[in-house]
Amino acid sequence: MSDKSLQSTNHGQLQPRGGITPLWDARQTALSKTHYKAKATRNNPCALVIMIDQSASMNQIMENGRSKAAITAEIVNAILQDALMRCQKEDGLREYFNLIIFGYGEDINIIWEGDLADKSWISVQELQDNVRNTIEEITTKQTPFGEKQMKKEIYQWVEARSDGRSTSMKKAFEHCVDILNEWVLENEDSFPPMVFNITDGQPTDIGGDLNVWLETCEELKSIATKDGNTLLFNILLTEGDEIILPTESDEPMIFEDEYHEIMYQASSFLPYQLKDETYNIFKKKISDSEIYRNENPKCVVFNSTASSLLYLISVGTITITKNAKD
């Protein structure tokens, strides 16, 4: 894995549109019926940003015997594979996504490797051309015409890493603000950027002031295309159960500590338009459909790959009901 430290962010050089948006405004934007309807096309791709906590705490071994860093690498690779597969057509790739991944420990590093090492945003073609490792499996599928053995490939781009002595999450988010402010200027008609932050939940660069952290997240979420505000998904690794897109009613049972609570608050509300699609993707994992439908779920995921969230971005006739991964 390359370790290309960013010299510095250009935070402050580009002014975010409208500055920090109050929570209520962000919530109302997310719940607006007029946004989050753009289709990802080759002319209007969607930005996928993945941010990975690489601090030493990610070295912790979970109950399943695997480190948080290893689980994180699996989550990231699953998201990237889903992005690649969504763009794969029989006649080639369609560039529906612009992708970037950076890790944060003490420093912020873009973690593309090999030929991608000098890149920031990459295309889907570059993603495909730079698979680092492939795991092959033979699976048996039941088809209408009997059982068939089929080859399955799992691709890897990112390896586990957890050597940072601190967790510069705020700095990473500020960097994300800068790159997305530039991106939306060039892609104002696109579906809003989707940011996946994978962490065990504790920024160390906020001086203990959680409001500072919240303000940074609000700034990130205020970056908008014409189709709506950036969606911030926090994927949290804990010893608890898998929880997908919790609502306010889930709060008492999910928060292990104040950091989890603040990550919950910092995350986007799931936009109104995406609720039905999301429910169809994750209905097996959503414990109470009535609560889910009547309340406002947050873009938070505990202990899950949740790569199927990419299916919220429409690239054609919606097929998620029948095709969503479990």
Partner 1 sequence: MQKTKIHTYTSYNFIDKVDETENEDSVQYTESDDSMLCLTLADGAGGSGIFNRKWSKHLTENPYMEDLVEKATLDNWFSSVAEAFYNQITEDKNQFTDRFIENKFNEEGSFATYLQVNINPKENTVTYFGYGDTRLFLFRWNSDVNTYFIHDIYPIKYCETLQDFPDLLNWNRAVESWPEPCTQSLMEGDVIISATDGMADFLVRKLYTFDKDALTSFISDAMSNFLKEEHHEVQAQSPQEIIVTIQQFFEQDNTQKITTIENWMNHGLIPDDITLTYYIHQNL
The residue ranges that bind partner 1 (CB under 8 A) are 39, 41-43, 84-86, 88-91, 128, 139, 141-145, 148, 150-153, 276-277, 280, 311, 314-323
* Residue 158: CB minimum distance to partner 1, A: 18
Burial, 250: exposed, middle or buried (Cβ in 10 Å; 0-12, 13-18, 19+)?
buried
Beta bridge partners, 191, equal none
* Residue 32: CB minimum distance to partner 1, A: 13
Report the C-alpha gap between 260 and 47 in whole angstroms: 26
DSSP-assigned states of every residue in 229-269: EPEEEEEE--SS--EES--GGGHHHH-SSHHHHHHHHHSPB
* Residue 281: CB minimum distance to partner 1, A: 10
Between 17 and 37, name the residue whose CB sits nearer to partner 1. Answer: 37
* Residue 277: CB minimum distance to partner 1, A: 8
* Residue 317: CB minimum distance to partner 1, A: 4
Between 165 and 322, name the residue whose CB sits nearer to partner 1. Answer: 322
Pairing of the two strands 231-236 and 194-199: parallel
* Residue 261: CB minimum distance to partner 1, A: 34
Beta bridge partners, 152, equal 137
Between 17 and 141, name the residue whose CB sits nearer to partner 1. Answer: 141
Between 178 and 277, name the residue whose CB sits nearer to partner 1. Answer: 277
Between 167 and 273, name the residue whose CB sits nearer to partner 1. Answer: 273
Please choose, from the candidates 244, 283, 238, the residue with its C-alpha nearest in 3D space to the C-alpha of residue 267.
Answer: 244
Beta bridge partners, 243, equal 302
For 25, the enclosing helix (H) or strand (E) is helix 23-31
Between 12 and 146, name the residue whose CB sits nearer to partner 1. Answer: 146
Pairing of the two strands 92-93 and 88-89: antiparallel
